[in-house]
Amino acid sequence: MRAGSAAAAAAAAVSAAASLATGLCMKTAGGDRSACAQRAAAQRPAPSSPVRRSARPPASAPIRSRLANNSRIVGLLAQLEKINTESAESDTARYVTSKILHLAQSQEKTRREMTAKGSTGMEVLLTTLENTKDLQTTLNILNILVELVSAGGGRRASFLVGKGGSQILLQLLVNASKESPPHEELMVQIHSILAKIGPKDKKFGVKARINGALNITLNLVKQNLQNHRLVLPCLQLLRVYSANSVNSVSLGKNGVVELMFKIIGPFSKKNSSLMKVALDTLAALLKSKTNARRAVDRGYVQVLLTIYIDWHRHDNRHRNMLIRKGILQSLKSVTNIKLGRKAFIDANGMKVLYNTSQECLAVRTLDPLVNTSSLIMRKCFPKNRLPLPTIKSSFHFQLPVVPVTGPVAQLYNLPPEVDDVVDESDDNDDIDLEAETENENEDDPDENFKNDDIETDINKLKPQQEPGRTIEELKMYEHLFPELVDDFQGYDLISREPKPFVFEGKVRGPIVVPTAGEEASGSSGSSRRGAAVQENVSPRGEEGDRKPASMDVAKEDTKDSGRTLQPPLGDESRTVSSTHGLNNDIVKALDRITLQNMPSPAAPGVKKDYNLPLTVLTCTKVCPHVATCGNVLFEGRTVQFGKLCCAGVETEDDEDTESNSSVEQASVELPDGPTLHDSDLYIEIVKNTKSVPEYSEVAYPDYFGHIPPPFKEPILERPYGVQRTKIAQDIERLIHQSDIIDRVVYDLDNPNYTVPEEGDILKFNSKFESGNLRKVIQIRKNEYDLILNSDINSNHYHQWFYFEVSGMRPGVAYRFNIINCEKSNSQFNYGMQPLMYSVQEALNARPWWIRMGTDICYYKNHFSRSSVAAGGQKGKSYYTITFTVNFPHKDDVCYFAYHYPYTYSTLQMHLQKLEAAHNPQQIYFRKDVLCETLSGNSCPLVTITAMPESNYYEHICQFRNRPYIFLSARVHPGETNASWVMKGTLEYLMSNNPTAQSLRESYIFKIVPMLNPDGVINGNHRCSLSGEDLNRQWQSPNPDLHPTIYHAKGLLQYLAAVKRLPLVYCDYHGHSRKKNVFMYGCSIKETVWHTNENASSCDVVEDMGYRTLPKILSHIAPAFCMSSCSFVVEKSKESTARVVVWREIGVQRSYTMESTLCGCDQGKYKGLQIGTRELEEMGAKFCVGLLRLKRLTSPLEYNLPSSLLDFENDLIESSCKVTSPTTYVLDEDEPRFLEEVDYSAESNDELDIELTENVGDYEPSAHEEALSDSELSRTHLP
């Protein structure tokens, strides 16, 4: 017997305990204790326990984990053990097991002792159960097991499974079934215990099938349908069997589905528990496609709906909610297949569930029914094609070279007759893609996982500088580095006399003056030699008297087209003569509106108020139908502005009507320093911006400019039930089709469409730089479906939007649904709002984008992508962003955007303003052209540093030996926040701040502020005109298809070739799924650690310096979050700038800096949506961080004790914590909502669509925090 020695030891323990209790036994070395045991036992009342006859255990018997010495259960188990070994009489076993049962039923202590770690009690019981022939003993033991697992939850059930309980009980079931008829009580107990432990045994389904238990249980149910006491545990076990798909099909062939429908039925107050279990079993069975088809063929979908209606009507007190939910779960299972969905529609299921769920809304406790009904209806909503002729972009750009492979090649090779909008088969038959909770993809933090995307090859992880191009090829970049050869002899520098030169630790070793080549000249034609052309703009920008060129009709005798959306373009009704086309008051008002005339930021906490006391203009005259305010820009093209308003500019004070034409201007403070916005200059720059659609219109926000609003914008609270309300309104489209207008009101694909003339229809437009809106369909009177344009030369990447709306009425709630988004989740579900810009507000001296919209949510809809668009996968759904807006003004012109727009022309304007305003004696500023883009736009390259103190050798040497910082941004056009951060960086570097001057004296900055100008101009979300993500092309950029990446990489390769490797490379990005600002870097040890390998075992010695800059930023930048940073290298990111610059160029501090599109959940800005002020502040703080980095990396700091460096390296091994791998988990950790939020997140959903760059988060320990703080204080960081 396997437990004999253990039981003997237990018996000895009991006898010893008895001896101690009576005081008759003394401890002696090796003494015979049996007599003591007998004396102790003799004092017990008869009948005496068999324990007193037990022999002394062998001296070698192992002593198991001892329980309490006075425990009665130990003695009883020892008796039972002896009975097993001696094959004693059955009545004794029956007596002992009944005693154990009594203790198990009455004492939790007994149950705990029997399932304690190391206890052999469970083994003794199972051995007895295997060997006994006595029915009562078997029943006793089964009852004991039921008691043990019923009270202990899953742990005790797992304990029983671990002792082999599943197999023993299944064999017992088979043996008991051979009796004719089977013993009812025995069958009840066996099925009860198996139903409890089965879910804890991963192999239970296989074991049950091999033992032949499936049909035993099924036949018991068939033969005893009226015996509810026996049928109930049998159904519970059938439900467990059905978790195995093979078992489910096998049971289905033997009639289990038909059997279930004999048990379930209309409303009844009797046997509700049996009904509930039968429905749960049915729902599990119907997850099998075979069983679902069988149910559909027999008309059971209609039966389920009928039963559901009956229970819904009669369950007035909602006491049977679980039964009602069970019916819905069965419907949910059967509608996983296409036939089930069709049967559901044919049976009028949509209307049934819609009506019942609407009736349940009033009772909060019935929310599970509402949510499950919503999931079923959404799933059964017929998949529709997008109402488009093709999902490819409306615009086409012919590439100079067509890639041989990849999605662009596939797109070009598609036969013209292929319909790429939707497939005939749009069904993922047996896959339920619906999520039942918002955290479907959230991994258990304690669960071990392996992320295959983490790079594990140490050889690939080790940075290996690869020149890639010969030094001769790289000489083409010499002219972009005149600072390395310029002698500054012709410059008016601050100091003409040399000063005693001190290196201040900036340069180690001998002075080296690197040159790019003898032929490089400091006076080449492309060099501006540091001094900027002033263009008649003073450094402080005296712009108060400036008038916008496009608004000054008298200055330029030209005409303009108003953007009224009334085709054709040449229609005379759209072009008004400049001499009488613009209301004089509007002209005067616009003349006075510059970005200086704005209110100073208000105190924190000021709420949004459209009636702030800033009376800037008052106008009671009616504006003409079209406001002409442009001039001829291109050959045959005009820059057009939309109509300002059809009923005149609204006044700030409606009662102020005394003057018909007066324009009052409030006295407002001017912002400190020069503004970078210049409306005149913007119009001039737009003339030279080349777009694929040849845009001839300018959006008002880009013309007027944007300043941050003087109030905080908190993250929006999500109203309870908002998503299901929106989904219910979508379902109403199918149920009440006659209510749907379905009228196209805007269409890029049809240039001849006519805009309805009715006054209550909104008018839309997106034909301007960075605009994206393809089609608008009016669904209901105040509801519109919007479709976005895909990236050019692509058929997906729909997320960025920027469009104009006009013709609105105040006090009306307009609902906008953007119906072809692709990401599986969005921060719109977590409090982010779209942005709105009101022209009326801008005219009233409030030219800012504000967060706008209520009832916002993001969810999977009933439109489906074709397999062409989904990379061969069928049935992939689109997602909807929906939001509701109440416009503040009548007939306003408003703009909506995904994030704060920042156009290519805006960048060029800002660069020109910075160049014009800087002090050439103090700041070395150059703006070069890195290259031309595919469509012929220039990609600017900016160089910023401090001018040398003099043109003497020592100062020139110091100038040339400054380390480089290389920055880039906006490789993804939809991540406009990256440009605002870059704007903050550029403004700070060009400011008169003493810290900025110190920074310029420390570094030479090479900046590519917009890596993807074409994508930005044409309103793309992620790609360039090549249809490819440029941040996946850094390994092998094609000079014809990816010129900006090819040449940006060339600049870095050139610096590496001349031994001037940048100290830092940082690529600015935006992040749509996470909050705060954070960084991704590259580390070998942290990557290896995340592979669950032992990082210390690898022979890699790594400098921890890559953590210094993020750590500094976490101390000084309120929006920055260190805990969100990651330094793991993933295979899917091996072609990104960050990894390539680290691996190939050899820059240790190579980063991606991600800025949230939503807001912050920590620090100073916790609970607030992020704005341009915070983004620009982040750009400035990044600069401050670089100055502190300089102090930490000065020669004094290189002499740190080696023990300190070793301690830092050890931090990885002691403090790393792996979290969910974001390559597969697209959702970030967010607080739960009270309602179920169905994001339907599909894992592995297009790996490069906005996947987070990191795999896990490194959480620094308290020791590291203290170390970093001490470092900061030791180096006197400001």
**How distant, in Å, are the alpha carbons of 77, 322, 911, 1177, 1203 from that of 989?**
81, 65, 12, 12, 37
E strand segments, 488-645: 560-563, 575-576, 632-634, 637-638, 641-642
Residues in the chain: 1278
Q: DSSP string spanning 1076-1104?
A: SEEEE---HHHHHHTTTS-GGGS-----G
* 437 alpha-carbon distance from chain centroid: 16
- 945 with 1005: CB under 8 angstroms? yes
Residues 6+ apart with CB under 8 A from 1099: none
Q: What is the Cα–Cα distance from 1054 to 1141, expressed in whole angstroms?
A: 12
Residues 6+ apart with CB under 8 A from 648: 583, 619, 620, 621, 622, 623
Is the bond preceding 756 in cis, omega lying within 30 degrees of 0? no
- 572 with 625: CB under 8 angstroms? no
Q: How buried is 270 (Cβ within 10 angstroms: 0-12 exposed, 13-18 middle, 19+ buried)? A: exposed
Give residue 715's region: left, alpha or beta (phi > 0; psi -120 to 50). beta
Is the bond preceding 47 in cis, omega lying within 30 degrees of 0? yes
Question: What is the three-class DSSP state of 1254?
Answer: coil
Strand order in the sheet with 575-576: 575-576, 560-563, 641-642
CA dihedral angle for residue 1208, residue 1213, residue 1215, residue 1221, rounded to 10 degrees:
120
Q: What is the Cα–Cα distance from 1131 to 510, expressed in whole angstroms?
A: 41
Q: What is the Cα–Cα distance from 778 to 761, expressed in whole angstroms?
A: 8
Q: How many CA atoms lie within 13 A of 371 on its CB side?
A: 20
Question: What is the three-class DSSP state of 1066?
Answer: strand
Q: What is the Cα–Cα distance from 390 to 395, expressed in whole angstroms?
A: 11
- Other CB atoms within 10 A of residue 309 CB: 17
CA dihedral angle for residue 606, residue 611, residue 612, residue 613, rounded to 10 degrees:
-150
Q: What is the Cα–Cα distance from 1127 to 1087, expressed in whole angstroms?
A: 7
Question: What is the three-class DSSP state of 854?
Answer: strand
Active site residue 757: no
Please pick, among 822, 915, 987, 1154, the residue that the annotation labels catalytic. Answer: 1154
Opening angle at CA 1252, ends 1055 and 1090, nearest 5: 85
Give the closest residue to 767 by CA, choosing from 639, 936, 677, 636. 639
* 224 alpha-carbon distance from chain centroid: 53
Can you read off the two tokens belonging to residue 1013?
């100008």
Can you read off the two tokens belonging to residue 1108?
């210094």
Largest CA distance in the chain: 126
Q: What is the Cα–Cα distance from 230 to 232, expressed in whole angstroms?
A: 6
Can you read off the two tokens belonging to residue 682?
């913007």
Give the closest residue to 1057 by CA, choosing from 639, 484, 643. 484
Cα separation of the two ends of the chain:
76
Q: 1052 pairs with which residues across the strands?
A: none
Is the bond preceding 568 in cis, omega lying within 30 degrees of 0? yes
Can you read off the two tokens belonging to residue 807?
């013709």
Q: What is the Cα–Cα distance from 255 to 250, expressed in whole angstroms?
A: 9
User: Which residues are designated catalytic?
Assistant: 1154
